[in-house]
Structure 1
Amino acid sequence: AESILLLIAAVEFSVGILGNAFIAVVTFMDQVKNRKIASIDLILTSLAMSRICLLFIILLDCFILVLYPDVYTTGEQMRIIDFFWTLTNHLSVWFATCLSTFYFFKIANFFHPLFLWMKWRIDRVILKTLLGCLAFSVFISLPVTKNLNDDFRHCVKAKWKRNLTVKCRIKKTTYASTKIYLNLVTLFPFSVSLISFLLLILSLWRHTRQMQLNASGHRDPSSEAHVGAMKAVISFLLLFIAYHLAFLIATSSYFMPETELAVIFGELIALIYPSGHSFILILGNNKLRQAFIRVFWKVKYILKRRQS
């Protein structure tokens, strides 16, 4: 069972790395070609890089947990992995929220003075916002390293014994509580993305109503942009919910038997979030989609020539 789960994890990891690396390479090459850093490319590059790191951390934890469980014995290695997992997790969520917010300000049509002012300044504050997300993620990840004593892993492995000490129970409860509290912080960016999605729906409804009043039945570019942005945001929200449910499974497994299988199963679900959302972004972005189609046909042509 562990071998099969590890194989599935490796496949999900490979798919996620290909998708996110493709986004990073295409946006970087476009920046070099145009000698200008577009806001959307900066966000997509940052998001792709954070998810590549997140994928590496999750897969590394899976393999260490199954193949080299004694690595976690001292607790120091567990501190390092937990720190980088929390860091890349928060970075991925915050950068995805920046993308949702950027879509909202660029596509939605409202005439409130505050909205118009923020719409006008959104490109100027993107870099500062991304750096702020990085600094906040590092700050929020530091408490993880303070809650793992050297004998914590022994307490985790001793869960099947009947004579569990109160000390071990307190250690595991403190660890799980800290992890849950830190991930509850991500509910704020999730709420921001949800609000952006709802406001995009409102903007699309108002725009569609205006088009009907003008007797225009076909879908205009603005409507297409609204629908594309909403697909990107709603896919992030749904995958985000699945990711955090998987995290709860992995965290609560420290109090259940067969911890390794439960953790790996939770991490398999968690891998869907950074892997699947990358391809949704590729299909929803015209530049990325066209580049993906060109690469696909080139690969297909090369394979045909080798076979012949």
Structure 2
Amino acid sequence: MSSAADSISIILITGEFIIGVLGNGFIGLVNWVDWIKKKKISTIDCIITNLVLSRICLISVMVLNVILIVLYPDVYTKRKLKIVICTFWTFANYLNMWFTTCLNVFYCLKIANFSHPLFLWLKWKTDTVARWILLGCFAISSLVGLIVPIVLSCDYKFHATAKHKRNITEMFHVSKMPSFKPLTLFNLFAIVPFIVSLISFILLVRSLWRHTKQIKLHATSCRDPSTEAHVRAIKTMTSFIFFFFLYYIISLWVTFSYLITKYKLAMVFGEIIAILYPLGHSLILIIFNKKLRQASVKMLTCRKIACMI
């Protein structure tokens, strides 16, 4: 990479880091203050707070990765450091995606209306189910976080041993191995939370369609609270699906970037685009969440008054 490209990359990644940490930190701070005032925290606030904390960790790891690639490429080639970064990135990545899925499932259970007995039971137990899902998300992410360093260490040892072997046939097979790294498998498994979120989204859209149909039959107003709740949740989940799809494609791009000639440029470009997901979706949450939106307007108003004084 040229010095100009390095400078631009550092400027962009620094800007994204500041916006991402401030945006997610603002959400966490508002929920924390509300928790202190009310002496309790709602399920939705608990999910969102855990989500933004995981996103701050994810953004920090991604930014650190870019800085090491651009400014300290020699340090990044060290095996142990690479394993540590990959482990933390995978753990934060899984936490982020599963917590977002938990949020989407919560929206679906809380807002959608279906007459199926199982759905009615889940809806009745929404808070309990959501908290168990939250614990399950953390357990899955922790398990993956423990497996990743073991798998990567074994993979590095395998290739280190293979390099010393003189058997031409074995060396031929070993040379094919880098085309599918172990980390690629973990990235492919990340499609599972996306599928769960997509199912929740489809159920919510179907529920809105049925609700709108009933409204038309009874000739009532379309601006009822249930319809508005459906629309807000669908907008939030639509933004998530868009950002997640972009993030997932870019994550695969970064994973397979070692096959590209300009490896470092591809990785840096991928990381810069990927950060738009934990950054952009959190800003969408602020816009569509009434409490967060009011808190942001209040903060901006107070800041404007302070500047005038």
Q: TM-score, normalised by structure 1?
A: 0.90
2:179 to 173, 178, 200: 173
**Between 80-89 and 8-17, the greater mean CA deviation after superposition:** 8-17
Aligned residues: 292
Tell whether 2:61 aligns with 1:46.
Answer: no
| Aligned residue identity for 2:249 | L
Tell whether 2:274 aligns with 1:274.
Answer: no
How far is 1:256 from its partner?
A: 1.6
Q: Distance in 2 between matches of 1:207 and 1:102?
A: 19
| Aligned residue identity for 2:232 | G
The answer as to whether partners of 1:228 and 1:284 remain within 8 angstroms in 2 is yes
The equivalent of 2:168 in structure 1 is none
Moved over 4 A (4+): 150-153, 165-168
The equivalent of 1:298 in structure 2 is 302
The answer as to whether partners of 2:54 and 2:96 remain within 8 angstroms in 1 is yes
The equivalent of 1:286 in structure 2 is 290
How far is 1:218 from its partner?
A: 3.6
The equivalent of 1:147 in structure 2 is 152
How far is 1:285 from its partner?
A: 0.6
Tell whether 2:37 aligns with 1:33.
Answer: yes
How far is 1:73 from its partner?
A: 2.8
Q: Distance in 2 between matches of 1:61 and 1:74?
A: 13
**3-state SS, counterpart of residue 255 of structure 2:** helix
How far is 1:167 from its partner?
A: 8.1
The equivalent of 1:20 in structure 2 is 24
Q: Which runs of 5+ in 2 are unaligned?
A: 161-170
**Between 60-69 and 137-146, the greater mean CA deviation after superposition:** 137-146
The answer as to whether partners of 1:73 and 1:151 remain within 8 angstroms in 2 is no
1:263 to 267, 270, 276: 267
1:228 to 209, 221, 232: 232
How far is 1:172 from its partner?
A: 2.8
2:199 to 195, 199, 202: 195
**Between 248-257 and 76-85, the greater mean CA deviation after superposition:** 248-257
Q: Distance in 2 between matches of 1:284 and 1:202?
A: 21
The answer as to whether partners of 2:122 and 2:129 remain within 8 angstroms in 1 is no
**3-state SS, counterpart of residue 115 of structure 2:** coil
Q: Which runs of 5+ in 1 are unaligned?
A: 154-164
Q: Distance in 1 between matches of 2:210 and 2:131?
A: 31
**Between 112-121 and 66-75, the greater mean CA deviation after superposition:** 66-75
**Between 245-254 and 52-61, the greater mean CA deviation after superposition:** 245-254
The equivalent of 1:161 in structure 2 is none
**3-state SS, counterpart of residue 147 of structure 1:** helix
Please, what is the CA RMSD of the aligned residues?
1.9
The answer as to whether partners of 1:2 and 1:261 remain within 8 angstroms in 2 is no
2:79 to 68, 75, 79: 75
Tell whether 2:91 aligns with 1:87.
Answer: yes
